[in-house]
Structure 1
Amino acid sequence: MRDEKGNGLFDPYETEQQEWKKQQVKERSKQLLTIISPILILLIWEICSRTGILDIRFFPPPSAIVSTFFELATNGLLWTHVSVSLYRIAAGFLLGVIPGVVIGLLMGLYAPIRHFISPIVMALMPIPTLALLPIIIIFFGIGDFSKIVTIAGSVFFPVVINTVAGVLSIEKVHLDVAKNYGASPKDFFFKIAFPGALPVMLEGIQMGQAIALLTIVAAEMMGATSGIGYLIWTSYKAFMLKEMFVGLILISFFGFLFSLLLRGLQKKIVPWR
């Protein structure tokens, strides 16, 4: 086949293969850059600590932090803190996401519900959940459930607001077609509102997981006897900075991991985004 200018023969399949290969090279380059950036930072940190540019008392080299990580992992103390924090994060995240999605869908679908709940959401949203922690502890005690409620409160608001925005962004023609075909409230909820709001809703859930990690660290610094936040705070007070950095890096790692998992889920559920 000749090209558009009539200059010669070309194979559409071969052209498509070339484009695919270029795309693969671009994807690999992006993945490589993603891996290189944290390694480069750790390498610079190591060099600066070893050469005295950074005070080793306050910024121990990453190699020493890794050694401390294995020591804590070997004696089992680290896994105790990690398992407790992950349990609190997962429970609080679900406790915030599920009501947030349901209430957000109802607010988006039904104007009376939206007008009734919106002032409450708008009034409570600016209040940091951690500021309410003393009240939460009074009601629920200093055990795990108070931490779970604190995380749920932090996650709830971005999820409910994004879900409402997602429902309201659904094109009116879809709602009109559903009405004309006699769709039931259940159909509106599960077949129109939920899939229509899903792309924006997932962005709110992504934001919620980041807030959950921020909240758990702060919540475990107050009124807790275990968890990654407790490890960070007690290590700081005892000037055990290598242990403190282990906790900080763990939080960073879990934040990156959860973000990747949610992004992967988003690609599977809403591939057009």
Structure 2
Amino acid sequence: MTPVQQDRRAVLGFLLAIVGLHGALTLSGQWHDWAWPAIAVSFIVLVLICERIGRHVPLRARKIYERTLALGFPALVLAVWEMAGAMELISPVWFPPPSAIGRALWDVTVTYDRFSETSLLGRPWLIPQEFRAGGLAGVGVLLSESHVLATIGRVFAGFLLGAIPGILLGVVMGINQTVRLMLDTTLAAIYVLPKIAIFPVVMLMFADPFGEGPKIVVVALAVFVLMTINTMTGVRTIEPVYLMAGRNYGAGPLQMLRHVILPGALPVIFAGLRIALGTAMIVIISVEFLRAKQGVGFMTYYYWEVLIPEKMYAGLVVVMILGVTLTGLLHWLQRRLMPWKR
């Protein structure tokens, strides 16, 4: 029997095992009591089935197969979640099904909250009308009510303010041992501090402690420490042969920095940027929980306070969408700056 035939028989056996397990529990009237263990076993068997199938996917269809796994598994989880809510395996009050969360997401998108005078996207469908009535100032007022734009603006400003100096200092620490010895312990001590814990200290630094400044600065501090450590590591892990080649070809300090050190450290730098971006999102959402009247974090916490869990989950979905979108933009930038890694 060939390996292909063996795997086909194995896949068929796994499928029959799943059907037999759920069928036996259903016929015995115990499926509801044993639903979650049965579902867990089914997911494990599904992994085994996908592994058997993946062994024989031709190279030309490999990307389609991998994309199907990447998108199909979350879709399957959502389907199980929906089914579990409908069959009362979980509380639909505290764990609303995906369909209810989708309706809530649509509602917060198209509805203007007159109590907080905010909306999710800033009602972009009214931009033509506001532009005719008040010009760009009217459009700006309209967009200023957006939770999403408020959060993105804080993340973007804090990310730039922290990443650029962090990369520069990381390069210096990677090159110069004296600076590294002076700052390494201090950065290690600051790194382990919960960034949300220093938010009250940051608030004391500003004349308006409830304005945008403290929110942006606490994000910048979190990004700065991460980027400094990652960039320093990237510079120190450059292969010595590249440095020797640059010196042998007569490269000066600036040429070494531009053509050898920065390109050599870029993979680690971008890995740090991805981590720092995720940290920036976590920090700003936490800050918006505590001290904000606008932003996706504020919206999520607000709907928790008023006990509308499906809209709270909708806020979490928006956070995940923002994270995936911003990470995708970072990947695009990485491909542009590192064409040799494509």
Shorter-chain TM range is 0.7 to 0.9
Larger Rg: 2
Match in the other structure for 2:63: 27
- For 1:268 and 1:33, how far apart are their aligned partners in 2? 27
Match in the other structure for 1:195: 263
Greater shift in the superposed pair: 135-144 or 253-262: 253-262
Match in the other structure for 2:82: 46
- For 2:70 and 2:333, how far apart are their aligned partners in 1? 19
2:288 counterpart of 1:220: yes
Aligned-residue offset at 1:31: 0.8
2:182 counterpart of 1:116: yes
2:202 pairs with one of 104, 128, 136: 136
2:322 pairs with one of 245, 254, 261: 254
Q: Which amino acid aligns with 1:187?
A: Q
Aligned-residue offset at 1:268: 4.2
- For 2:311 and 2:156, how far apart are their aligned partners in 1? 24
- For 2:241 and 2:107, how far apart are their aligned partners in 1? 61
- For 2:331 and 2:281, how far apart are their aligned partners in 1? 17
- For 1:44 and 1:85, how far apart are their aligned partners in 2? 31
Greater shift in the superposed pair: 178-187 or 155-164: 178-187
Match in the other structure for 1:89: 155
Q: Which amino acid aligns with 2:120?
A: L
- For 1:157 and 1:24, how far apart are their aligned partners in 2? 43
- For 1:158 and 1:125, how far apart are their aligned partners in 2? 7
- For 1:97 and 1:23, how far apart are their aligned partners in 2? 39
- For 2:91 and 2:249, how far apart are their aligned partners in 1? 71
Structure 1 consecutive aligned stretches of length 4 or more whose deviation exceeds 4 Å: none
With the length of structure 1 as denominator, give the TM-score of the two structures. Answer: 0.86
Match in the other structure for 2:173: 107
What is the total number of aligned residue pairs between the two structures? Answer: 253
Match in the other structure for 2:42: none
Aligned-residue offset at 1:260: 2.9
Q: Which amino acid aligns with 1:61?
A: P
Q: Which amino acid aligns with 1:32?
A: T
Q: Which structure ranks higher in relative contact order (CA pairs < 8 Å, sequence separation ≥ 6)?
A: 1
- Give a deviation string over 1:149-183, Cα, whole Å, max 9, x none: 11111122222111111111112232233334443
Greater shift in the superposed pair: 261-270 or 148-157: 261-270
Aligned-residue offset at 1:205: 0.6
The unaligned stretches of length 5 or more in structure 2 are: 1-56, 113-118, 122-145
Match in the other structure for 2:72: 36
Asked whether the equivalents of residues 101 and 160 of structure 1 are also in contact (C-alpha less than 8 Å), the reply is: yes
| Secondary structure, counterpart of 1:225 in structure 2 | coil
Alignment of 1:145-160 (within 5 A): 145-160=213-228
The unaligned stretches of length 5 or more in structure 1 are: 1-20
Aligned-residue offset at 1:88: 0.6
Match in the other structure for 1:162: 230
Q: Which amino acid aligns with 1:36?
A: G
In percent, how many aligned pairs have the same letter? 31
- For 1:233 and 1:167, how far apart are their aligned partners in 2? 41
- For 2:226 and 2:60, how far apart are their aligned partners in 1? 35
With the length of structure 2 as denominator, give the TM-score of the two structures. Answer: 0.70
- For 2:336 and 2:291, how far apart are their aligned partners in 1? 40
